[in-house]
Every structure is written in structure tokens, then in C-alpha cells.
Chains A and B, each alone.
Chain A
Amino acid sequence: MSRQTSRLDAKKVNSELLTLTYGALVSQMLKEIDSSEDVNKQLERIGYNMGVRLVEDFLARTTSGRCLEMRETADKIQQAFRLYLNMQPTVTSWSSSGDEFSLVWDQCPLSEWVEMPSNGLKYCAIIPGAIRGALQMVQLDVQCWFVQPPLLWVCRARTNLLHNAPIMRALRALNAVSNDIDLFNCSLNEFALAAYCKISYSGTY
């Protein structure tokens, strides 16, 4: 692939081919392995093995140097997503020590047209595995996992004005409350109590 980059444009394939092949792999694994927890593990392992090899391709193509800082690494990971999956996740939620961040994407080519089964399967578990494997080869030991997606999606505000609008604040509060209790299976009293605790003690809503 990389050989053509300097002369012709990079060899492009339709993303549907990848989506379908990956879907076939996952569904076959679900058939052969009983527990979806084990499928997640296997997918992570496949991703790891891919990342270990893929990192060489990335380095050979982009001629990027060694990262000396986590933000630089995040940048490179973003670049790799653009290169290999043609999507750009946003980097958010930096920890104050600067050694932890989240990658947020809303639609991944791997999971296009997929109706997720509700058995705890992490469909794209191959991606964290690939990131872990690739970074391990450049002497960075990282942990990579899916955090629960927010229950009610707060769209990214364009202006700070909208960001502080009452509806946004309400959605954020609901998301926060849903971490403590199951929103759809609780009595009104329980909800009121949980919401009250959140709003009065965290003070950000």
C-alpha cells in the first residue's frame, strides 16, 4: 500500500468491504464462542496483533518521529484513524496529569449498518487492541478501553451560549444521574433523590 503513496495516490478500497468482512468475522466468532465477554477478549487480541504490525506501516508512511508527550501521541492516533478508517475522532476529557484522554467518535466505518445485540458485545473492541499493540511497539505502555457511551447524547455545542442552555444542562444532569441509577427502571422517588444528590453536591449543573 505505502509503496504507491509517493507515486500514485494511496490504494483506496470501499469501506463497505471492510465493514462486511469485519461483520462476518464478528458474527462467526459469536457463533463459535458462547460468551460475548470472551468474544470481546478475542477481538481485543486480534486488534493487538494487528496493531503490532500496523504501526510499522504507519511509521513508514508518515515518517513521524518519536512522541515525547501524550498530546503528541493523541495527535498521531487521530492521524492514524484518518489514514486507516477515514474518520476523525475528537480528543477530549484530558486528565489533569495529562496522561489520560478520551477519543470520541459517533460513527465508525466498522459498525456502519450494525444493529448492536444487547449481550454486552463490544463490537469495535478491535480498535482499543490495535491502539495498545501499536503503542507498545514504540515503547508506550497504555491501557485502552470503551467507556460507557452517554445515555442521552449531548451534541457538541457550537457556542458557549448553547452549551449553557437549560436543555443542555438538563441533559448533562440526566446523564450524570444515570451513572448512579437506572433511569428507566426506578420509582419517581428514587430518581428525585439521586437527582437531588447530584445537583446539590457536585455543583456544576
Chain B
Amino acid sequence: MVIYGVYIVSKSGGLIFNYDHNIPRVEAEKTFGFPLDIKLQYENKKVVVVFGQRDGINVGHVLLSVNGSTVSGRTTEDGRDVFNIIEAKENYPLSLKFGRARATTNEKIVLASMFYPLFALASQLSPVPKCSGIESLTADTFKLSCFQTLTGVKFIIVTDPNMQGSEVVLRRIYELYSDYALKNPFYSLEMPIRCELFDTSLHTLLEIVEKSGTANL
């Protein structure tokens, strides 16, 4: 029963809440000699591994640090270009740390607004009229369950692919939302949810689900 994250998308398609619950941290640090046997490329403002998967460093991982100094964009902390460092023989042996890129808030907002038309498209494509849209979307490493309320708010949880009873969890999150977000007079509708009570009770709920499953919700 692993829940990776919770997202709430408002009626108009904006991300109003996101919470990363239990994302495993994948990081691998290794010392390399010249020449580097991993192909790196600069894309989307990150230095990404494009070829040469080995020792826990997978294709798609991002370069996090060079010799202990953090990489942001394509430069290290002291302002040197990463590719210049890698290409110069005198810098070796070189210790590089790779890891999975974590989505920034901006990227999450983009993803949430991309899910919105997908949901609408699914209900349009349906061979049977009055279809509800995507309720669950399964991949080999995760399952996304979505619950749309009658008022158009979407609750989404990303879980382990063999998670059972995610509908119950979604319903409980809906109850928490109607209690702690909507009854808070300082929360205005359609705006991002920044209510501490909502956060804490959501954490409690997710912990209960992880420990004892959804049976006694």
C-alpha cells in the first residue's frame, strides 16, 4: 500500500493541491576515469543520461553533482560548465552523482493541466454516451486513480500498481477537503489549498492507509 502522491485539480483545471508522500529517492554516486563511458546530453535545462546504463545509473537520470558540488542547469556551484569539466582529461578521476529528476511545482502544474483535456477526451471517445472520464490509469510502475466529484473537482492519487481500494481513499480525501478546506473561511474557492489542518489530517489518513490498509476506513 504505497501512495506516491496526492493531487487535487480544480473545476477549471488548475492544480490547487499537490503532495508528494513517499517517493523513493534514487541516487547513485560513482567515480569515473577518462574517458567517460556514459553519454550525457543537455535537455530541458538538465544534464541527462541518454545512453550507457550501468551500476544503478539509468537512462533518464539527471546529473546532480560533480565532485560534491551541486549542478544547477549545466553549471556547477563555482560557475564552470559541466561539459567542459567532463571533456578535460586533467579533471579525472571525477566523482559524479546521478539521480532521478524530481518534478518541480511548475512541472506538476503543467502535468495537471495536461490531465484535464485527457480526462475530457476519454469521455468524448467513449463508445457509450455519458461516460465519466478516466477513473484509473495503470502503468508498470504506478497506478493513477482519479475521482471527479459532481461539482467538477478532481482528486488524483498516484499509487503502487497493485494498490486496492483507492476509491475509498479518494472519498476520504474528498471528505477532508469539504471539511478542512471549504469550511475554512479564509480559503477562497479555486485557489491553491494552504490549510494546515487539511495537510495534517491528510498525512494522518495516508499513514493509516500505509500501515493498516483501506479496510477500516
Contact = CB atoms under 8 A, between A and B. Distances in A.
Interface stretch (B22-30, B42-50, B172-180): B172-180
Main secondary structure of the interface of A (DSSP, over half): helix
A53 interface: yes
B100 interface: no
A52 interface: yes
Nearest to B182: A53
Interface stretch (A58-66, A77-85, A124-132): A58-66
A60 B151 contact: no
A66 B152 CA distance: 12
A3 B151 contact: no
Interface string B160-180: 000000000001001111110
A61 B150 CA distance: 13
Contact of B151 (A1, A6, A59): A59
Contact of B149 (A3, A52, A53, A56): A56
A56 B177 contact: yes
Interface in B170-211: 171, 174-179, 182-183, 189, 201
Contacts, number: 47
A1 B189 CA distance: 20
Interface in A1-17: 1-3, 6
B178 A57 contact: yes
B171 A63 contact: yes
Nearest to A6: B217
B150 A60 contact: no
A91 B214 CA distance: 40
Query: What range describes how many residues of B lie at the interface?
Result: 10 to 19
Nearest to B173: A60
B171 A1 contact: no
A56 B182 contact: yes
A2 B189 contact: no
Contacts of A65: 150
A192 interface: no
A137 B151 contact: yes
Interface string A66-77: 100000000000
B151 A2 contact: no
A55 interface: yes
Interface of B: 149-151, 153, 171, 174-179, 182-183, 189, 201, 217
Given A53-B178, A53-B182, A66-B150, 15 more contacts: A1-B179, A2-B178, A3-B175, A3-B176, A6-B217, A56-B153, A56-B174, A56-B177, A56-B182, A57-B183, A59-B149, A59-B150, A60-B149, A61-B175, A65-B150
